[in-house]
Amino acid sequence: MVSLDLLLNAIVAGILLGGFYAAVSLGISVSFGLLDIVNIAHPAFVILGSYTAYAMNRFAGLDPLLTGLLFTPVFYALGVMVYRLYYLGFERKGEESLRGLVFFFGTLFIVEVVLLLAYGVDYRMIEADYVGRSFHIGVVGIAFRLLLPCLVGLMITLALHLFLSRTFYGRAIKAVSQDSQALRLMGVNPVKIKRIAFALSIATASLAGALLILIGPVEPSIGREYIGRVFAIVVLGGMGSISGTLVAGIILGIAESLTSTFSGPSWAPAVSFGILLVVLAVRPAGLLGR
């Protein structure tokens, strides 16, 4: 018989995990879902964000969440530069499909090697008072290490959703994903809009990196573990749908958590990808995709 205590804990743990998954996947939702840029280097930028949080924590004693917020503009600028390179090298020449993929693959390696040279290969963790602490609401135990990433993930999702739906630049980003030529006729430079959107995706990746190092240790190549999962979440939620990404993240989080608790953790990936296949069979555009 299923224990109510375990069931509730598994669902809450799944929601917390899902919020974090959404935070990691939002950048891909923007770059891949809205801009059609297959940025497989996205997890590397997440890890770069983790190491920035680690460095600031170690050398300046800064809280990783604060570092994540403080460095968002820096990563935004980095995103602008990376997009500029990508645009000049590939997109402008219409060679973005295969060569663009190679470009991001190369970027992934470069980021990893830079981190290797700078920090070595050991696993890195951060110190914060709330890491390792938890509290209870009734029978449900909640660890701060998981709660904070979830809350920040929800806030990023809300902020991005509001930005894309309420602001001029947000609407322009949505428009560029549908018809960049029409956007140009409206007097807006689609390249500039894409640059802003891509830079935003990198900025969210860095913030997600600060959340990741709160949850567990990182090493330079650990980002690769997340490539399959983040693309699956974006596809499940619906390409370019921010709210869909959040919903998909939470569904996969709960599915993993329930499977780990009741059926053995080794089934968790099979269940997650099974859900993806079923949803795509019923709704090829994803849960909230159009």
- Name the site residues for another protein (rule: CB under 8 A): 3, 5-6, 9-10, 13-14, 16-17, 20, 112-113, 116, 119-127, 131-134, 141, 143, 145-146, 215-217, 219-222, 225-226, 229, 256-258, 260-262, 264-266, 268-269
Residues 220 and 264 sit within 8 Å (Cβ to Cβ):
no
Nearer to another protein (CB atom), residue 63 or residue 256: 256
Cα(50)–Cα(123) distance, integer angstroms: 11
CA distances from 40 to 85, 184, 252, 277 (A): 16, 28, 20, 21
Q: Which is nearer to another protein, 157 or 257 (CB)?
A: 257
129 in helix, strand or coil?
Answer: coil
Shortest Cβ 144–another protein spacing (Å): 9
Q: Is the CB of 146 or the CB of 173 nearer to another protein?
A: 146
State the DSSP string of 51-78. Answer: HHHHHHHHHH---HHHHHHHTHHHHHHH
CB of 248 to another protein, least distance (A): 15
Helices and strands (H and E) in the chain: how many: 12, 2
Closer of 73 and 216 to another protein (Cβ): 216
**Number of residues written out for the chain:** 290
Q: How does DSSP assign 240-267, residue by residue?
A: T-HHHHHHHHHHHHHHHHHHHHHT-GGG
CB of 95 to another protein, least distance (A): 28
Q: Cβ 87 to another protein, closest distance in Å?
A: 30
Six-digit token string for 258:
């329930």
CB of 187 to another protein, least distance (A): 45
Q: In the bound complex, what is the minimum distance in angstroms from residue 18's beta carbon to another protein?
A: 10
Nearest to 104 by CA among 197, 25, 39, 37: 39
Angle between helices 4-28 and 224-237 (to 10 degrees): 90
Pick the closer one to another protein by CB: 206 or 261. Answer: 261
- Minimum separation from the CB atom of position 290 to another protein (A): 30
Q: In the complex with another protein, which residue's Cβ is closer, 199 or 252?
A: 252
Nearer to another protein, 10 or 242 (CB): 10
Measure the N-to-C terminal CA separation of the chain; round to a whole number of Å.
Answer: 40
